[in-house]
Amino acid sequence: MTFLQNSDSTIYEILHSEYVRERDTLELIASENFTSPSVMEAAGGVMTNKYAEGYPGKRYYGGCDHVDEAEILARERAKTLFGAEYVNVQPHSGSQANMAALMTFLNTGDTVLGLDLSHGGHLTHGSSVNFSGQLYNFVSYHVLEETGRVDFKEVMELAKEHKPKLIICGGSAYPRFIEFDKFREIADKTGSFLMADIAHPAGLIASGVHPSPISFCDVITTTTHKTLRGPRGGMIMMGKDGENPWNKIAPKSGRVKNISELIDSMVMPGIQGGPLMHIISAKAVAFAEALRPSFKVYTKQIVANAKTLASTLTSKGYKIISGGTDTHVILIDLTNKNITGKSAENCLEKAGITVNKNMVPFDKKSPFITSGIRVGTPAVTTRGMKEAQMEIIAEMIDSIIIDFENDKKINNIKNQVKELCNDYPLYKDLFTT
Ligand SMILES: Cc1ncc(COP(=O)(O)O)c(C=O)c1O
């Protein structure tokens, strides 16, 4: 960092402060993680300089030999990782992956089923403030109040009633396995396309700790920066190319021969220009890391940690939506603890524990207040923490929440958080101070 320190000390100090924050706090936001230094090196590397509109072998710019190599490698590694026949690594984010996938399979105004945002879905699954809700006719399905799991009876009824052209499964705050096989059965009954958004469990799926969507879904989208522990970005995959009843999307097909070409053209030129080649090279690095046996050890530990955190909190009287977790996500309803999600987020942050407020299914509070928080274990697991540390973290969370106006206690816990973080160092050599 010496160049930056000398040339722009202002932004250097800001980056340094963010590093200290990441180092000295417990990161429990379920969608965040810490990449390896190698991923960061690639993401901050020379490929940030290169324009490469197009795809390997078919670019609109010269000088693309090496970016072609990086993109081909990223694709091939992702194919191996997920067992996919087709991969597009260019989407700048998960939202753009979703936009390109939806634009491939749908025409404006088409009907789509997606999980309600307040029941664990994502903005791009039909929220009225998002392109998805504005361009398409989204109908929401829900989880059951008693179980916190997808209400497949409702999904079936809605599918029969609305005959959706596409069904999306997956979400941002769904702690249980996504049951791709059950969604497939329903999609087959109504002749709908099935799209899986695996942004959250992608790393668990890549390592076989969560069931795979690859043989059930027509198209799969993901982010690369959550459990997959890569750089911030998106990706689109298909298990098989061209096996879909693609006459349904033929009016949009133009000159393309198969669906993969259509997806490629929806990403670029459809919704993006030049790919972020530095990020694509960093994706390649992350995929290689995820292919190593040690990654499976890591993802198993993520889930073991989440289960321990959930069961310890349960033993302290917390209501965990769905009664536990199969993944890295824990959704906690704080109603019986007489604190809102917003206040819980704030007082935990004062102690150096970062979580996010989150609506719980059937929440009576607004998205700005919420009755719950979402907690996740990918980042603390990357630091090396295990079940014993999860028990300590659950103790700390509880001590703060039951006494959230006690600033003295919160300050004490902040010191304990710092000590715990010191025992699990982060990016030791990134900054010298
Ligand atoms: C299920 C799901 N899909 C898509 C996205 C969007 O990803 P991004 O923030 O990269 O646009 C997210 C991000 O939180 C997500 O959880």
Beta bridge partners of 195: 168, 219
Phi, psi of 232 (to 5 degrees): -60, 120
Domains identified in the chain, total number: 2
Question: Does some domain include residue 428?
Answer: no
Q: Indicate whether 256 and 368 sit together in one domain.
A: no
What does the pLDDT profile of the chain (433 residues) look like in tens digits?
A: 789 999 999 999 999 999 999 999 999 999 999 999 999 999 999 999 999 999 999 999 999 999 999 999 999 999 999 999 999 999 999 999 999 999 999 999 999 999 999 999 999 999 999 999 999 999 999 999 999 999 999 999 999 999 999 999 999 999 999 999 999 999 999 999 999 999 999 999 999 999 999 999 999 999 999 999 999 999 999 998 864 455 556 555 555 668 898 899 999 999 999 999 999 999 999 999 999 999 999 999 999 999 999 999 999 999 999 999 999 999 999 999 999 999 999 999 999 999 999 999 999 999 999 999 999 999 999 999 999 999 999 999 999 999 999 999 999 999 999 999 999 999 988 776 5
319 lines ligand 1 (CB under 6 A): no
Q: Indicate whether 339 and 269 sit together in one domain.
A: no
CATH code of the domain containing 359 = 3.90.1150.10
93 lines ligand 1 (CB under 6 A): yes
- Does residue 419 have an active-site annotation? no
3: which residues sit within 8 A by CB, 6+ positions away?
none
358 lines ligand 1 (CB under 6 A): no
Question: Does some domain include residue 23?
Answer: no
Residue 431: the pLDDT is: 75
Angstrom distance (rounded) from CA 430 to CA 324:
37
356 lines ligand 1 (CB under 6 A): no
Q: Are 120 and 107 in contact (CB under 8 A)?
A: no
Question: Does some domain include residue 26?
Answer: no
65: which residues sit within 8 A by CB, 6+ positions away?
none
E strand intervals along 272-392: 319-320, 329-333, 353-354, 356-358, 372-376
Q: Helix and strand tally (H, E) in the chain? A: 16, 15
Residue with tokens 């404006």: 108
Beta bridge partners of 319: 333
Angstrom distance (rounded) from CA 76 to CA 58:
17
Question: Which residue, of 256, 272, 291, is where some domain finishes?
Answer: 291
Output the CA 1–ligand 1 centroid distance in Å: 30
Residue 259: the pLDDT is: 86
Candidate list 77, 176, 226, 307, residue with the active-site label: 226
Output the CA 125–ligand 1 centroid distance in Å: 10
Q: Indicate whether 286 and 318 sit together in one domain.
A: no
Is residue 141 helix, strand or coil?
Answer: strand
Angstrom distance (rounded) from CA 292 to CA 77:
11
Residue 244: the pLDDT is: 46
- Does residue 41 have an active-site annotation? no
Angstrom distance (rounded) from CA 174 to CA 121:
8
Q: Indicate whether 115 and 155 sit together in one domain.
A: yes
Full domain range(s) for residue 379: 300-423
Q: Indicate whether 159 and 62 sit together in one domain.
A: yes
Looking at ligand 1, which residue's alpha carbon is closest to its atom 3?
199
Summarize pLDDT for 82-130 with one digit per residue, the tens.
999 999 999 999 999 999 999 999 999 999 999 999 999 999 999 999 9
Angstrom distance (rounded) from CA 78 to CA 95:
19
How far is residue 143 from each of residues 75, 120, 129, 149, measured CA to CA in Å? 35, 9, 22, 5
Beta bridge partners of 141: 115
Question: Does some domain include residue 371?
Answer: yes
Residue 430: the pLDDT is: 79
Q: Which two tokens stand for residue 177?
A: 């396995």
Q: Indicate whether 377 and 261 sit together in one domain.
A: no
Q: Indicate whether 194 and 78 sit together in one domain.
A: yes
Q: Indicate whether 361 and 392 sit together in one domain.
A: yes
* Helix ranges restricted to H, 110-192: 131-135, 152-162, 180-190
Is residue 58 helix, strand or coil?
Answer: strand
Angstrom distance (rounded) from CA 227 to CA 246:
32
Question: Which residue, of 264, 291, 318, is where some domain finishes?
Answer: 291
Question: Does some domain include residue 35?
Answer: no
200 lines ligand 1 (CB under 6 A): yes
Q: What is the DSSP letter of 142?
A: -
Q: Indicate whether 331 and 214 sit together in one domain.
A: no
Mutate to test the pocket of ligand 1, among 95, 178, 374 (most ligand atoms within 8 A of CB): 95
- Does residue 58 have an active-site annotation? no
Question: Which residue, of 265, 291, 317, is where some domain finishes?
Answer: 291
Q: Are 302 and 328 in contact (CB under 8 A)?
A: yes
Question: Does some domain include residue 188?
Answer: yes
- Does residue 75 have an active-site annotation? no
Residue with tokens 């973080």: 421
The answer to whether the Cα torsion of 19, 20, 21, 27 is positive or negative is positive
Number of neighbouring beta carbons within 10 Å of residue 207: 23
- Pick the atom of ligand 1 nearest to 92's CA: 10
Is residue 240 helix, strand or coil?
Answer: coil
Question: Does some domain include residue 431?
Answer: no
Mutate to test the pocket of ligand 1, among 172, 198, 219, 329 (most ligand atoms within 8 A of CB): 172
Which amino acid is it at 291?
L
CATH code of the domain containing 57 = 3.40.640.10
Q: Indicate whether 235 and 362 sit together in one domain.
A: no
Q: Indicate whether 286 and 305 sit together in one domain.
A: no
- Pick the atom of ligand 1 nearest to 121's CA: 1
CA dihedral 22, 275, 10, 34 (to 10 degrees): 10
Q: Are 202 and 224 in contact (CB under 8 A)?
A: yes
Q: Indicate whether 175 and 276 sit together in one domain.
A: yes
How far is residue 285 from each of residues 28, 230, 231, 404, measured CA to CA in Å? 24, 8, 9, 42
Angstrom distance (rounded) from CA 74 to CA 70:
6
Residue with tokens 């609109």: 60
Question: Does some domain include residue 31?
Answer: no
Residue 243: the pLDDT is: 47
The answer to whether the Cα torsion of 225, 227, 230, 235 is positive or negative is negative
Candidate list 35, 111, 223, 370, residue with the active-site label: 223
